[in-house]
Amino acid sequence: MNIREIITLGFMTFALFVGAGNIIFPPFIGLRAGENLWYAAAGFLITGVGLPVLALIAMARKNGSLVELTKPAGKYFGLLLSLICYLALGPLFGTPRTATVSYEIGINPLFSGQVPLSIFSLVFFIAVIICSLNPLKLIDIVGKFLSPLKVVSLGLLGLYAFWRPAGNELSTFPEYVETPFSSGMINGYLTMDTLAALVFSIIIVNAIKSRGVDRAQNITRYMVITGLIAAVGLIYVYISLFYLGAYSLPLARTATNGADVLHAYIVNGFGFKGSVFLAFVITIACLVTAIGLTSACASYFNQITGKSYKMFVVILAAVSMLLSNLGLTEIIRFSLPALTSVYPPFIVLVIYGALAKGGNNSVMLCMPATLVAFVVGIMQSVVPVDDIPLLVQHLPFYKEGMGWIVPTLVVFVLSAICRKVTPSQRVTS
């Protein structure tokens, strides 16, 4: 691959990651972190940028196959996790949310409620279908047209945020007084970009292969390079939006989410033109993400069923369109517990996939730890607080939403000891 192709692929990777959720979280964190802004930002960047890049590397080592990545969890548990990942990030939660976010933050305020969500979602997903039907041209559609628009828009917004802060007053809200770093980590964790990396990686791997790269070592090398390009873009966008939010306190003191902060800042600086600009950035960001999710999910279901890729594109887009009409609030309410439950086991699999050499007995080593992470994640995300066992509630990092970490590490170490003690045992499924 030449330099131009690598940069184009890096831009595409960056554009696939940056959806509306990534644009909305940082301003709100910046607003509430105040004087502890950079501690919160550091935590956010670890889970919001570091883990997704690690996931891309892990997937490159598995040739872009989520099936291969989840094998150490066991045949059936791995398949369950794969299905949950694709369905959650695809037609059930992730893709419908792209339409509702772009509508409620960009289109609806711009047109004062005159454009119904049903009409917008229909147009939105027709565009998604058109751009996703030919996966071989996806890098040209996204990488050469939509990505530059997205990169330029976000780049200009970032520069303006540093040039024209809305004020000079900072205020640290309670949740960022004592634990700003861990609070930032949780917010980065909830962006779900690590799961998105698992879904998008097949697009990137296929794009690398389409340029004549076929050796596994070279595919991994180019994935690392493009992942680092995307990481630089993400860090720039996040830091500029953290800064924007932190110094927007005079405009958005009572804001309840990042959309309020962002909208207040842009309208204050640009007026009606600012609303148009915000609608454009948000819609482009969401459209690119929706294209990537739909294409990746269609490729996955094509791979495991052998049915037509184009058929799955149409079906997935249609289901996403229907569910998007539930509205943003309902989608978030249903999606958050499901997504945060499945995130911990995938962190285990990503770290293992990126660092371990694997082997015939990798299931013995990895499955128990992955299962523990999944169970504890479900307890913290789905089970009512009164029904959670006291033992779980007293786990380290439980209050930070990461109570799964210590028991997962303990079980992993115990599994490693058992594997050393019984080297002749081989577990393959």
CA end-to-end span of the chain: 37
195/318: higher pLDDT: 318
Residues in CB range of 256: below 8 A, 6 or more apart: none
Residue pLDDT, tens place only, 104-115: 878 887 887 788
Residue-level length of the chain: 429
Tokens of 368: 């128990």
Q: Where do we find the tokens 């004549």? A: 212
Residues in CB range of 140: below 8 A, 6 or more apart: none
Confidence of residue 428 (pLDDT cuts 50, 70, 90): very low
Residues in CB range of 297: below 8 A, 6 or more apart: 86, 89, 90, 91, 95, 199, 312, 316
Going from N- to C-terminal start, the domains of the chain cover 3-357, 359-428
Dist. CA 204–CA 199, nearest whole Å: 10
The answer to whether residue 12 scores a pLDDT higher than 70 is yes
Residue pLDDT, tens place only, 309-365: 999 999 999 999 999 998 877 887 777 777 778 888 999 999 998 887 755 558 888
* 16-25, 196-205, 265-274, 408-417, range with the lowest pLDDT: 16-25
**Average pLDDT rounded to a whole number, residues 239-253:** 89
Share of the chain above pLDDT 90, in %: 21
Q: Under CATH, domain 3-357 is a member of which superfamily?
A: Amino acid/polyamine transporter I (1.20.1740.10)
Residue pLDDT, tens place only, 263-313: 888 888 888 888 887 788 788 878 878 888 898 889 889 988 889 999 999
Dist. CA 129–CA 121, nearest whole Å: 12
What is the per-residue pLDDT for 138? 58
DSSP one-letter string for 202-264: HHHHHHHHTTT---HHHHHHHHHHHHHHHHHHHHHHHHHHHHHHHTTHHHHTT--SHHHHHHH
**Average pLDDT rounded to a whole number, residues 217-246:** 90
**Average pLDDT rounded to a whole number, residues 376-402:** 81
- Global pTM value: 0.82
**Average pLDDT rounded to a whole number, residues 73-93:** 88
Dist. CA 279–CA 105, nearest whole Å: 7
Averaged pLDDT of the chain: 84
Residue pLDDT, tens place only, 119-136: 999 999 999 998 888 755
